[in-house]
Structure 1
Amino acid sequence: MDHDMPAGAHDAGGGLLGWLPSALALLSAAGAYLLLVRRARRRNPALGWSRWRTVSFQTGITLLGAALLPPVAPFAHHDFRGHMAQHMLIGMYAPLALVLAAPVTLLLRTLPASRGRQLTAVLHSPPARIVAHPVPALLLSTGSLAALYFTPLYDMVTGDPAAHWLLHAHFLLSGCLFAYVIAGPDPAPSRPGVRARLVLLGVAIAAHAVISQLIYGGFWVDIHAPIDQVQAGAEIMYYGGDIAELLLAAALVATWRPDRPRRPAPVPGDSAGTAFAPAVDRGRRSGQPCPRVLSRRTRV
């Protein structure tokens, strides 16, 4: 750990005009979601759309705005504590809110039938099944943190504005992917059972804790920043990550629907015998005459 931030990190903001594209992009995403909700309600007024999902999406956009706009964004360009706060917002809190808004389900309700079938085919394709499995999602979201903070990659990325935006995109997409496969209400063809997802979530919690403790202790860390900033950033990662993952676990429990037990299929042609079997057994044990079973040809 050094006492200087990467060159170029101080002037990466670009003034107020530098934040304008981000603000416009976020406002466009929020407006597009509201338009899709309006279209979905018009197409099927009886089915409608959950207001909680709409609030969840707008909350996610607000969290992204807090991370990508002043005062957090300029602070993150010259202070590791701001970077870690930005990472928490972009990679953990905003993705959970966006995923709980069920954007894929909303698209399927508003797209034309042909486009909806195309989207469904993409979701069921082998590449999508591989990427949307919890293990690759865990590696992309949590495993990449070790490569970022324990190699010179962090200083290289934060010193280049274009690479820094690519890092933001990686945090957002990998966070959305992990939240989607763990607790997303949208359909996921390769999503495992609740127990497997809870185990993988526990692995993610442990990995975040280990990485943050290593950063705090300065083990294998390759971050050019003052020691007090690095340690404070590690604390933000430790406690902020725990809260975000507990919220993800709560979302998993809230969106979980237990499987209903399947009833045994009736034997063809034996519906009457099956219905009267308990009465026949009781009659034999008690010595009373068994009830008479009417055949299909018996007329009442």
Structure 2
Amino acid sequence: MDHSGHGMTTDLPPFTLGRGLEFSADPFFLVGCLVALALYGWGVARLRSRGDGWPVSRTVFFVTGVLSVALVMCTKLNDYGMVMFSVHMVQHMVVSMLSPILLLLGAPVTLALRALPVAARGTKGPREWLLMLLHSRYMRVVTHPAFTIPLFIASLYGFYFTPVFDTLMGSKIGHIAMMVHFLAVGLVFFWPIMGVDPGPHRPGYVMRMLELFAGMPFHAFFGIALMMATQPMVKAYENPPASLGIDALADQNAAGGIAWAFSEIPSVLVLIALVYQWYHSEQRQAVRKDRAADRDGDKELAAYNAYLASLRTRGQ
């Protein structure tokens, strides 16, 4: 028996965490994760080979982010996510709200700009194309809060409360496209707020916090709507396989609880990152001001000594 045109059997045994974490790779995401790790590792190795440093913490963040994607897309969580709304919601929350934060803290764009070679004069290489993309009008639009916040909200309500979700769940390509979309939305939403990499839209820290909290209430309301529903709201999950031994409405309520609870986790993580970045930004500014003051003080001292010397000369 197939589900949603995937050719995947639906006679799965009842879900347990042990079964969910068994290896069952989606080829697209497995290859994507391996390529991401290989490219990042190449960048770090290239910097080290020429004597430049790269923070270990950034590498740990990026690797953890890639592994978080692999955890939900390359295990049986992905299989169960096709027939259980609650497991799918775990996938969605991790891919759209946890993985992007970890990946962004790894500063992959900064690493690429430092590791990629500069093209010969009059030519353009990968580094130059990346710089052009970062400074393009397109990037200014997709990282502006007037775009990122509505996109973040629409990715919830526009997918699950319309036929779009069922259409995408009807094919393997559609499901992969949906999960890639969730990851991309998370990246463009959190990048201007707490990303380490350079970007065209980088407001002050207070505005970043406001951007963060502008989207989170809608996320919580989405979860509450699923929890309070009295009938299944998504057709793809209204008839779960009998072998799972679950009730569709109870599973939907669990999915809503996961969505509601998960909205708090990234908020806390991002706030911690923002406060940390804000503190270090203030420290760097203080050091620059102290250096400037020292230079000004040296100039004043030199001028005063010159003045004293002129007085002695006149006295003589």
How many residues are matched? 272
Matches of 1:85 and 1:49, distance apart in 2: 32
- Give the counterpart letter for 2:159 in structure 1: L
Which residue is equivalent to 1:51? 56
Which residue is equivalent to 1:41? 48
Where in structure 2 are the equivalents of 1:227-266 lying within 5 Å? 227-256=249-278, 257-258=281-282, 260=285
**Alpha-carbon distance change, 260 to 22 in structure 1, aligned in 2, over 3 angstroms:** closer
- Structure 1 range deviating more: 220-229 or 50-59: 220-229
Q: In the alignment, is residue 215 of structure 1 matched against residue 226 of structure 2?
A: yes
Q: In the alignment, is residue 202 of structure 1 matched against residue 202 of structure 2?
A: no
Which residue is equivalent to 1:288? none
Q: Which has the larger radius of gyration?
A: 1
- Give the counterpart letter for 1:90 in structure 2: V
1:81 to partner: Cα distance: 0.6
Where in structure 2 are the equivalents of 1:248-287 lying within 5 Å? 248-256=270-278, 257-258=281-282, 260=285
**Alpha-carbon distance change, 220 to 128 in structure 1, aligned in 2, over 3 angstroms:** farther
Instruction: Give 3-state SS (helix, strand or coil) of 1:192's partner.
Output: coil
Q: Aligned residues: percent identity?
A: 30
**Alpha-carbon distance change, 72 to 18 in structure 1, aligned in 2, over 3 angstroms:** closer
Residues 205-233 of structure 1: CA deviation (Å, up to 9, x unaligned): 21111111112222897412311111100
Where in structure 2 are the equivalents of 1:122-141 lying within 5 Å? 122-141=133-152
Q: In the alignment, is residue 66 of structure 1 matched against residue 71 of structure 2?
A: yes
Which residue is equivalent to 1:103? 108
Which residue is equivalent to 1:8? 5
Matches of 2:311 and 2:62, distance apart in 1: 63
Q: Which has the higher contact order (CA 8 A, sep 6+)?
A: 1
Instruction: Give 3-state SS (helix, strand or coil) of 2:252's partner.
Output: helix
Where in structure 2 are the equivalents of 1:138-217 lying within 5 Å? 138-217=149-228
1:194 to partner: Cα distance: 0.9
Residues 83-132 of structure 1: CA deviation (Å, up to 9, x unaligned): 10110111111111111100010011011223434422321121111111
Instruction: Give 3-state SS (helix, strand or coil) of 2:82's partner.
Output: helix
**Where do 5+ consecutive residues of structure 1 fail to align?**
277-290
**Alpha-carbon distance change, 198 to 17 in structure 1, aligned in 2, over 3 angstroms:** closer
- The answer to whether the Cα contact below 8 Å between 1:152 and 1:222 also exists between their aligned partners in 2 is no
- Give the counterpart letter for 1:260 in structure 2: Q
1:12 to partner: Cα distance: 7.8
Matches of 1:219 and 1:137, distance apart in 2: 31
Output the TM-score relative to the length of structure 2: 0.76
- Give the counterpart letter for 1:213 in structure 2: I
- Give the counterpart letter for 2:285 in structure 1: R
**Where do 5+ consecutive residues of structure 2 fail to align?**
11-22, 120-124, 239-247
Which residue is equivalent to 1:76? 81
CA RMSD, aligned part only? Answer: 3.2
Output the TM-score relative to the length of structure 1: 0.80
- Structure 1 range deviating more: 23-32 or 236-245: 23-32
Which residue is equivalent to 2:18? none
Instruction: Give 3-state SS (helix, strand or coil) of 2:197's partner.
Output: coil
**Alpha-carbon distance change, 82 to 178 in structure 1, aligned in 2, over 3 angstroms:** same
